């Protein structure tokens, strides 16, 4: 699971209101190389929740993301774009869990795949 | 068809079939139409023609940043999308863990031609993706064979009880869910279509959906319009027009397979809240 994917997920247990973002418990993290594509980053940036992204990265001891992002940085700050790219796409949580911020329910991440399937009584 | 050579599937996973290939054909046809510059009419104009004449609607691959496939199974469609759209982020979802593993393996087998911007998510439909999680292209590959509601519900319960687990006891249920569509074959389709429409990025987004004639495509399209109005009413906004057409069609054994294409046709220019329509 990439942090990009994590940024798009929330807990969907019926009745839960504090559902975003999931806390990430990482037992095994891998790095995979992904083609650097600044245009992709510029397109995805407005769709992300930056605070959730930065907080989650820091929880995984991934430093280097700024508190806020300016247009100028997205346009031409190569060092920023490289760090953004790396943390967004090249870090894969292989084994661990996503934890609902309200209920503490653990959703396992196995072989890089988060499993958000609910039990019948949670739907 | 995209050059997907090493697809993984096995017990409890739907193998790449005529419907799978047709879904990829629909996407590929629209991308090719843009590259060659043919059929450059607006979605609006295309929609005014007979709904049941299939024709390409050009898609500029550079406009596609994110793709989601609902019901990714073997991963054939997700991997094809990733190869066809190397600049995009592709997510495949499936409720069966076996299918999720197959999707991941198929994506990994094409890592060199895919960009690596992909992920797999174990869930029902698109549950767990936050509202407004934006996808420029949504590919919906539902189980569409008419069955009883009970057959569908029982398999769904079995899989939920086991957390979608890839264990022998769930194989039967997992496989039933690859084809069992409930009444008229559309119970899962309607749920997936609704989730897919919610996930469409507001402007220029499009959704491709596989149907068979028994699913009553015209009726499905009408329901899609209702859902679309509902989605935008929830946001307090006037809905952009949702145009639809048959993108491609083929007869395979005893089925008339079609891919329906739904396109959001207006640019998002009215940002202010709308109180009455």
CA distances from B27 to A33, A48, B59, B208 (A): 27, 26, 8, 8
Mean pLDDT of all residues in B239-250 = 91
Instruction: Return d(Cα B69, Cα B208) in angstroms, integer.
Output: 10
3-state secondary structure at position B200: strand
Query: How high does pLDDT run on average in chain B?
Result: 85
pLDDT score, position B1:
55
What percentage of chain A reaches a pLDDT higher than 70? 100
A28's tokens: 């095994």
Contact call for residues B224 and B189 (beta carbons, < 8 A):
no
A5 in reach of chain B (CB within 8 A) = yes
Nearest CA in chain B to A100: B128
ipTM for this model: 0.95
3-state secondary structure at position B175: helix
Q: Is residue B209 scored above 70 in pLDDT?
A: yes
CA distances from B156 to A93, A114, A122, B181, B187 (A): 28, 19, 14, 11, 12
Provide the chain A residues 58-87 that lie in CB contact (below 8 A) with chain B. Answer: none
Chain A residues close to B127, C-beta within 8 Å: 12, 116, 118
Q: Is residue B172 scored above 90 in pLDDT?
A: no
Which residue in A14, A100, A113, A119 has the most chain B C-beta atoms within 10 A of its own C-beta, making it the best mutation to test that interface?
A: A113
Lateral strand order in the sheet of B255-264: B118-122, B89-94, B66-70, B137-140, B206-212, B255-264, B242-252
Q: Is residue B73 scored above 90 in pLDDT?
A: yes
Strands, DSSP E only, in B32-161?
A: 66-70, 89-94, 118-122, 137-140
pLDDT score, position B272:
38
Q: Between residues B124 and B51, which one has the greater pLDDT?
A: B124
DSSP structure class, residue B62: G
Tens-digit pLDDT profile for residues A10-53: 999 999 999 999 999 999 999 999 999 999 999 999 999 999 99
Q: Is residue B53 scored above 70 in pLDDT?
A: no
> Which CATH number is B18-264 given?
3.40.50.150
- Per-residue pLDDT band at B204 (split at 50, 70, 90): low
Tell whether omega for the bond before B139 is within 30 degrees of 0, i.e. cis.
no
Delineate the domains of chain A, giving CATH numbers in brackets: 3-122 (2.20.25.10)
Q: Between residues B227 and B275, which one has the greater pLDDT?
A: B227
Instruction: Return d(Cα A87, Cα A81) in angstroms, integer.
Output: 10
pLDDT score, position B252:
86
pLDDT score, position A121:
87
- Per-residue pLDDT band at B254 (split at 50, 70, 90): confident
Contact call for residues B83 and B100 (beta carbons, < 8 A):
no
- Would the CB atoms of B133 and A89 count as touching at under 8 Å? no
Q: Between residues A10 and B155, which one has the greater pLDDT?
A: A10
Which residue in B124, B130, B133 has the most chain A C-beta atoms within 10 A of its own C-beta, making it the best mutation to test that interface?
A: B130
């Amino acid at each position: 699971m990439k942090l990009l994917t994590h940024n798009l997920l929330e807990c969907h247990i019926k009745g839960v209101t504090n559902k975003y973002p999931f806390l990430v418990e990482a037992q095994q993290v891998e790095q995979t190389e992904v083609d650097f594509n600044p245009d992709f980053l510029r397109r995805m940036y407005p769709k992300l929740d930056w605070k959730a992204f930065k907080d989650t990265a820091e929880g995984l001891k991934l430093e280097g993301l700024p508190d806020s992002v300016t247009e100028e940085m997205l346009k031409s700050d190569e060092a920023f774009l490289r760090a953004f790219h790396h943390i967004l796409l090249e870090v894969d949580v292989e084994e661990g869990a996503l934890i609902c911020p309200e209920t503490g329910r653990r959703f396992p991440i196995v072989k890089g795949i988060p499993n958000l399937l609910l039990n019948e009584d949670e739907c | 068809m995209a050059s997907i050579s090493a697809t993984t599937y096995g017990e409890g996973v739907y193998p790449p079939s005529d419907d799978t290939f047709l879904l990829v054909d629909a996407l590929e046809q629209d991308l090719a139409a843009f590259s060659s510059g043919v059929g450059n009419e607006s979605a609006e104009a295309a929609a005014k023609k007979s709904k049941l004449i299939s024709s390409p609607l050009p898609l500029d691959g550079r406009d596609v940043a994110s793709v989601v496939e609902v019901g990714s199974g073997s991963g054939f469609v997700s991997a094809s999308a990733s190869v066809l759209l190397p600049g995009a982020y592709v997510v495949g979802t499936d409720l069966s863990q076996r299918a999720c593993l197959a999707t991941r393996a198929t994506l990994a087998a094409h890592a060199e031609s895919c960009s690596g911007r992909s992920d797999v998510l174990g869930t029902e439909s698109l549950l767990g993706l936050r509202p407004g999680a934006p996808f420029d292209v949504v590919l919906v590959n539902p189980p569409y064979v008419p069955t009883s509601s009970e057959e569908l519900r029982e398999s769904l319960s079995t899989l939920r009880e086991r957390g979608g687990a890839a264990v022998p006891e769930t194989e039967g249920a997992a496989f039933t869910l690859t084809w069992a569509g409930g009444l008229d074959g559309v119970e899962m389709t309607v749920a997936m279509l609704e989730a897919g429409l919610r996930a469409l990025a507001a402007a220029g987004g499009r959704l491709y959906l596989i149907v068979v004639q028994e699913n009553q495509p015209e009726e499905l399209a009408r329901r899609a319009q209702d859902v679309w109005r509902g989605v935008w009413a929830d946001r307090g906004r006037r809905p952009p027009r949702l145009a639809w057409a048959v993108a491609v069609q083929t007869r395979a054994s005893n089925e008339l397979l079609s891919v329906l294409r739904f396109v959001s046709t207006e640019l998002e220019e009215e940002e202010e809240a709308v109180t009455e329509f």
